[in-house]
Amino acid sequence: MPEFRQNLATKEWVILAAGRAKRPNDFAKDQTPRPSLPPYKNDCPFCRGNESLTAEPVYVLRRNGDWQVRVVPNKFAALQPTLDTARTLVGSFLSVAGFGIAEVIIEHPLHNQTLATMAVDDVAALLRTYRQRQTAISRDDKVNLVTIFRNHGARAGTSLEHPHSQIIATPIVPPHVRYPWEQAVMYYDQHGSCVYCDLMREEIRQQVRIIIETDHFVAFCPFAARSPYETRIYPKRHMASFISVRDDELTDMAAVLQTVLARLYHCVGNPDYNYIIRSAAIGDDDTRHLHWYMVIIPKISTPAGFEMGSGIYINSLAPEDAALCLRETKIVP
Amino acid sequence: MPEFRQNLATKEWVILAAGRAKRPNDFAKDQTPRPSLPPYKNDCPFCRGNESLTAEPVYVLRRNGDWQVRVVPNKFAALQPTLDTARTLVGSFLSVAGFGIAEVIIEHPLHNQTLATMAVDDVAALLRTYRQRQTAISRDDKVNLVTIFRNHGARAGTSLEHPHSQIIATPIVPPHVRYPWEQAVMYYDQHGSCVYCDLMREEIRQQVRIIIETDHFVAFCPFAARSPYETRIYPKRHMASFISVRDDELTDMAAVLQTVLARLYHCVGNPDYNYIIRSAAIGDDDTRHLHWYMVIIPKISTPAGFEMGSGIYINSLAPEDAALCLRETKIVP
């Protein structure tokens, strides 16, 4: 029987219509097998040996005389760091100059790596780089929001094979970010607690949607998952911003992230996906009502007119079944 | 130079990064040519002659002894009209039984028709059917929101070739719909006018993004368009709900919609698209601060992690250029 489910934090609704669903393992069959990649490509600007094809890096993490992670300005940036943030009226419409910082994080020297198959140490290096960049970029007075994300595969919006993430910093905090913030404030004032902490505790209490739980993190398919295999990784300690995460927590998170992505890879057939770190706007780092987390969204279903019109997503796989499938997936090295 | 642009009504932002853009006509080259379709297919449940393959129609519009438009319950409905709307707590998470009404509107007896190539009379018949169904469904006390939409092509979320639209009625009005409503109320209280009326008047005054204007409607690519060729069709008369539209207005709208879709077809190479009629929730039909409209979203760009994380869409084609291209497109019959 179909049901509506509400996201406790954002108050958004989904329709869980699992009756129409394929079985969890059927989703894997829908994935187009990817060609296997070489470790090096002549014309790939992100490959070791081709460093001259990118702009000067803004940050490099090194290991044994080689680079491990390399951060460069995005050559095809939609925003420009040299612009200002002047607001202008075009008639009665508001426009702001396109200031922004856009960086590409090259995750590995080798072309044929991906987080799902990478060593946990490499994933930890990537997360440390995220934190370093978010911290550094946040010092720019014109920046109000830093978004860290990864697009994996064409359906997730990238055609670049070499493993990479992106950071975009904007002077704008949009309603899309403010609305959940307002809900979180109202919840805090009503309940005296962070809604994300409460949501996580409730997921842990119910257990059925948990994929993996460690000392510092929990990964789960949320009660109101918008699409099959949507996964969230929450830090257990209350923190509004990713810049507050500690070294020991990052090491723990690397293992959790690597495990989740490896299980998705094996359970769902290396699907295209996006992941995003949702973190408080600059200056709200210490707020008591927000909580940073990572959301992983495999690109399995296609949002259509109904989703775009109503904002209600139809999910054909119960998150309980998705989590079970991911829990039981054995990684064959 | 890139810029942020704000939607006057919703306060959402986009990044216009037209510097990275192809020229307007380049978008057409990216479209995969569609196979040409036969007028009839044996196994298509929507084809004239195969009426027994669907459930009993809930509504039929007839012409010359044949059906012109046929509305049937959606066989693969995500929601069920037989359920109730009881709210239940699952721990601290909210769930609502999956009551809803889902109908498919078969737009034409022939398999190989599409709105872009259909006669205006057929488009008018479709719009009259939309109004009839929205009016009828709105009488159900359990319904709070009716969403009418069309998915054209696989990227828009349909694999069904036969021309069809859909209606989904829900007991839920989600935040996605409430937030713009809140913004509209605040605007009304501040300015004493409907923000959508004002937005439309400003677009008409600026002229550069107008595609076509008639007595009763105006079609334009909005100032803060989220993607290339995003188009809106607004009724000039203030109306919160589509059920208030008059017959003469519908005839006018049919010509506008058909023209816009035909120009998209020829200018952008028959792209996949979604369109949605955004209309007030049931009971708000006469409100002074909302305004129904249709939004047409060609599926040309792929929202990626940044869009999902921030809600800020990056648009690589200025709506001024898109509108110019659509204005200048000659329809070769």
What is the per-residue pLDDT across B157-182, written as a single tens digit (0 to 9) for each? 998 999 999 999 999 999 999 999 99
Find chain A residues with C-beta within 8 A of B3's C-beta: 95-98
Give CA–CA dist A146/A167, Å, rounded.
7
Nearest residue to A10 via CA among A305, A158, A244, A232: A232
Nearest residue to A13 via CA among A314, A321, A234: A314
Question: For an interface test with A, which of B101, B164, B193, B308 has the most A Cβ atoms less than 10 Å from its Cβ?
Answer: B308
Helix (H/G/I), strand (E/B), else coil: A127: helix
Residue B333's pLDDT band (cuts 50, 70, 90) = low
pLDDT digits (tens, 9 = 90+) for B56-81: 999 999 999 999 999 999 998 999 99
Contact at CB, B179 and A174, closer than 8 angstroms: no
The token duo for B95 is 């769930």
- Res B31: pLDDT: 72
Angle at B29 between CA A75 and CA B264, to 5 degrees: 110
**Strands laid side by side in the B164-170 sheet:** B59-63, B66-73, B101-106, B164-170, B145-152, B273-278, B293-298, B231-235, B217-220, B210-213
Give CA–CA dist A178/B310, Å, rounded.
10
Residue A227's pLDDT band (cuts 50, 70, 90) = very high
Give CA–CA dist A231/A209, Å, rounded.
10
Is A287 within 8 Å of A133 (Cβ atoms)?
no
Rounded mean pLDDT, A204-228 = 98
Residue B290's pLDDT band (cuts 50, 70, 90) = very high
Contact at CB, B175 and A179, closer than 8 angstroms: yes
- Fill in the DSSP letter of residue B192: S
Contact at CB, A92 and B11, closer than 8 angstroms: no
Contact at CB, A303 and B157, closer than 8 angstroms: yes
Q: How far is A246 from chain B (nearest CA, A)?
A: 23
Domain A10-328 class, CATH top level: alpha beta
User: Is the pLDDT reported for residue B40 higher than 60?
Assistant: yes
pLDDT digits (tens, 9 = 90+) for B232-278: 999 999 999 999 999 999 999 999 999 999 999 999 999 999 999 99
Helices B120-138, B247-268: crossing angle, 10 deg rounding = 120
Pairing of strands A13-16, A313-315: parallel
Find chain A residues with C-beta within 8 A of B11's C-beta: 175
The token duo for A145 is 């929001």
- Measured from the Cβ of residue B44, the count of other Cβ atoms closer than 10 Å reads 18
User: What mean pLDDT is reported for chain A?
Assistant: 95
* Residue of chain A with shortest Cα separation from B92: A202
Question: For an interface test with B, which of A220, A306, A314, A320 has the most B Cβ atoms less than 10 Å from its Cβ?
Answer: A306
Size of interface A-B (CB pairs under 8 A): 223
Give CA–CA dist A300/A227, Å, rounded.
8
Q: Distance of CA B52 to CAs A221, B57, B126, B129, B328, Å?
A: 41, 10, 22, 21, 44
Please report, in angstroms and rounded to a whole number, the separation of the first and last CA atoms in chain B: 39
Residue A35's pLDDT band (cuts 50, 70, 90) = confident
Rounded mean pLDDT, B110-124 = 95
Q: How far is B75 from chain A (nearest CA, A)?
A: 11
Find chain B residues with C-beta within 8 A of A15's C-beta: 78-79, 98, 100
Picking from A6, A17, A155, the nearest residue to B78 by CB comes out as A17
A23 Cβ partners below 8 Å, 6+ apart? none
User: Is the pLDDT reported for residue B55 higher than 70?
Assistant: yes
Q: What is the DSSP string of A272-331?
A: -EEEEEE-PPTT-TT-SS---EEEEEE--S---HHHHHH-PEEESS-HHHHHHHHHHPPP
* Residue of chain A with shortest Cα separation from B1: A98
pLDDT digits (tens, 9 = 90+) for A300-314: 999 999 999 999 999
Residues in chain A: 333
Q: How far is B64 from chain A (nearest CA, A)?
A: 32
Is B69 within 8 Å of B61 (Cβ atoms)?
yes
Contact at CB, B305 and A156, closer than 8 angstroms: yes
Is B75 within 8 Å of B50 (Cβ atoms)?
no
pLDDT digits (tens, 9 = 90+) for B309-330: 999 999 999 999 999 999 998 8
% of chain A residues with pLDDT over 90: 92
* Residue of chain A with shortest Cα separation from B303: A157
Find chain A residues with C-beta within 8 A of B171's C-beta: 4
Phi, then psi, of A76 in degrees rounded to 5: -110, 40
Residue with tokens 């295209």: A272
Helix (H) or strand (E) holding A212: strand A210-213
Residue A331's pLDDT band (cuts 50, 70, 90) = confident
Calculate Rg over the CA atoms of chain A. 20
Question: For an interface test with B, which of A209, A310, A314, A317 has the most B Cβ atoms less than 10 Å from its Cβ?
Answer: A310
The token duo for B218 is 């105006």
Question: For an interface test with B, which of A22, A92, A160 has the most B Cβ atoms less than 10 Å from its Cβ?
Answer: A92
Rounded mean pLDDT, B297-308 = 95
Pairing of strands B313-315, B13-16: parallel
Q: Is B221 left (phi over 0), alpha (psi -120 to 50) or beta?
A: beta
Is B130 within 8 Å of B277 (Cβ atoms)?
yes
% of chain B residues with pLDDT over 70: 97
pLDDT digits (tens, 9 = 90+) for A48-102: 999 999 999 999 999 999 999 999 999 989 999 999 999 999 999 999 999 999 9
Give CA–CA dist B111/B40, Å, rounded.
5
- Res A34: pLDDT: 77
Residue with tokens 């090491």: A251
Picking from A94, A174, A304, the nearest residue to B274 by CB comes out as A304
Find chain B residues with C-beta within 8 A of A155's C-beta: 302
Helix (H) or strand (E) holding A232: strand A231-235
Residues in chain B: 333
Q: How far is A65 from chain B (nearest CA, A)?
A: 32
Give CA–CA dist A77/A103, Å, rounded.
8
Residue A20's pLDDT band (cuts 50, 70, 90) = low
Find chain A residues with C-beta within 8 A of B168's C-beta: 306, 310
pTM as predicted: 0.96
**Strands laid side by side in the B3-6 sheet:** A87-90, A93-97, B3-6, B13-16, B313-315
Q: How far is B231 from chain A (nearest CA, A)?
A: 14
Question: For an interface test with B, which of A8, A10, A13, A275 has the most B Cβ atoms less than 10 Å from its Cβ?
Answer: A13
- Measured from the Cβ of residue B128, the count of other Cβ atoms closer than 10 Å reads 18
User: Is the pLDDT reported for residue A333 higher than 70?
Assistant: no
Picking from A5, A91, A306, the nearest residue to B147 by CB comes out as A306
pLDDT digits (tens, 9 = 90+) for A312-321: 999 999 999 9
User: What CATH architecture is B24-328?
Assistant: 2-Layer Sandwich (3.30)
Is B169 within 8 Å of B137 (Cβ atoms)?
yes
Calculate Rg over the CA atoms of chain B. 20
% of chain B residues with pLDDT over 90: 91
Contact at CB, B206 and A90, closer than 8 angstroms: yes
- Res B185: pLDDT: 98
- Res B25: pLDDT: 64
Contact at CB, A310 and B205, closer than 8 angstroms: no
Contact at CB, A304 and B17, closer than 8 angstroms: no
Give CA–CA dist B80/B75, Å, rounded.
10
Lowest mean pLDDT segment, chosen from A168-182, A270-284, B21-35: B21-35
A163 Cβ partners below 8 Å, 6+ apart? A106, A107, A108, A113, A114, A115, A118
Contact at CB, A147 and B305, closer than 8 angstroms: yes
- Res B27: pLDDT: 73
Picking from B17, B79, B309, the nearest residue to A2 by CB comes out as B79
Contact at CB, A198 and B94, closer than 8 angstroms: no
What ipTM was assigned to the predicted interfaces of this complex?
0.95
Contact at CB, B78 and A15, closer than 8 angstroms: yes
User: Is the pLDDT reported for residue A281 higher than 80?
Assistant: yes
User: What mean pLDDT is reported for chain B?
Assistant: 95
Helices B247-268, B319-328: crossing angle, 10 deg rounding = 100
Contact at CB, A205 and B91, closer than 8 angstroms: yes
